[in-house]
């Protein structure tokens, strides 16, 4: 388990920037080398190919993101607190890594294999056998805290509600004058509206 050299770190840094901006196919090894202030040959010395470099960058970025995401699932069994905190944390997390959304979208469009692998790794690391959410929702239904519903669909909806504004960010900011998705004001309001909609939507 090495820490990696300084040059390696510079390459990863530069590669991340370029891959995020241009996508895998649009990215050029020349540009990555340029931003890292080295030459192309050195890129291939450290990482064997463009594919390997991309995989390394993607895995690292996404793994950290998912790790942070799943660490933000509250420990309590109180479904109201779980939902409130998770949505707020999730929105905060995404808003502080807006570029990453594009990266992940790109990868999913390509088939989503890396993402699935990363998810599996995260599950293994945290010892999950299923979405940590799922069980809490099922329990809440059994106890009658929330109305009967399909937990899987609820989770999909919650994630969709949280993540969509950031996916559509350029479009929304272009189509709706004055809106600023990443502004503190919008995020604050968004968290309230999201939680209210979901919470009211699942009352018995």
Partner DNA sequence: GTCTATACATCGATAGAC
Partner DNA sequence: GTCTATCGATGTATAGAC
Residues within the interface to DNA (CB under 7 A): 5, 7, 27-30, 38-42, 44-45, 48-51
Contact 93, 69 (CB under 8 A): yes
d(CA 91, CA 163): 7
Contact 90, 72 (CB under 8 A): yes
d(CA 28, CA 23): 10
76 token code pair: 């309590």
Site for its own copies in 36-75 (CB under 8 A): none
DSSP 121-186: HHHHHHT-SS-HHHHHHHHHHHHTSS----HHHHHHHHHHHHHHHHHSHHHHHHHSTT--TTSHHH
The item of its own copies, DNA, none sharing an interface with residue 63, based on CB under 5 to 8 Å by kind, is: none
Q: Which of 59, 119, 132, 182 binds its own copies (CB under 8 A)?
A: 119
28 token code pair: 């050029």
Q: Does 184 bind its own copies (CB under 8 A)?
A: no
Query: By C-beta, is 24 or 136 nearer to DNA?
Result: 24
Q: Does 29 bind its own copies (CB under 8 A)?
A: no
Q: Does 129 bind its own copies (CB under 8 A)?
A: no
Site for its own copies in 147-176 (CB under 8 A): 147, 149-150, 152-154, 156-157, 159-165, 167-172, 174-176
Query: By C-beta, is 28 or 64 nearer to DNA?
Result: 28
The item of its own copies, DNA, none sharing an interface with residue 50, based on CB under 5 to 8 Å by kind, is: DNA
152 token code pair: 């899987």
d(CA 92, CA 1): 31
Query: By C-beta, is 29 or 149 nearer to its own copies?
Result: 149
Query: By C-beta, is 38 or 179 nearer to its own copies?
Result: 179
Q: Is 75 helix (H, G, I), strand (E, B) or coil?
A: coil
Please report, as ranges, the residues that interact with its own copies according to CB under 8 A: 22-26, 101-103, 105-106, 108-113, 115-116, 119-120, 147, 149-150, 152-154, 156-157, 159-165, 167-172, 174-176, 179, 189-190, 193-194, 196-203
């Amino acid at each position: 388990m090495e820490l990696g050299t300084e040059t390696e770190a510079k390459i990863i840094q530069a590669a991340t920037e370029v891959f995020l901006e241009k996508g895998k196919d649009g990215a050029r090894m020349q540009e990555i080398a340029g931003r890292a202030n080295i030459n192309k040959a050195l890129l291939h010395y450290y990482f064997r190919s463009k594919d390997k470099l991309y995989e390394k960058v993607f895995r690292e970025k996404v793994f950290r993101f998912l790790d942070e995401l799943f660490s933000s699932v509250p420990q309590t069994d109180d479904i109201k607190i779980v939902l409130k905190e998770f949505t707020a944390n999730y929105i905060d997390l995404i808003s502080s890594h807006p570029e990453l959304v594009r990266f992940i979208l790109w990868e999913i469009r390509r088939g989503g294999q890396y993402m699935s692998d990363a998810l599996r790794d995260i599950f293994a690391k945290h010892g999950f056998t299923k979405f940590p959410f799922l069980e809490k929702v099922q329990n809440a239904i059994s106890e009658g805290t929330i109305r009967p519903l399909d937990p899987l669909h609820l989770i999909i909806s919650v994630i969709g509600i949280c993540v969509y504004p950031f996916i559509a960010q350029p479009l929304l900011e272009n189509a709706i004058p004055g809106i600023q998705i990443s502004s503190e004001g919008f995020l604050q309001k968004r968290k309230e509206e999201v939680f209210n909609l979901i919470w009211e939507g699942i009352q018995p």
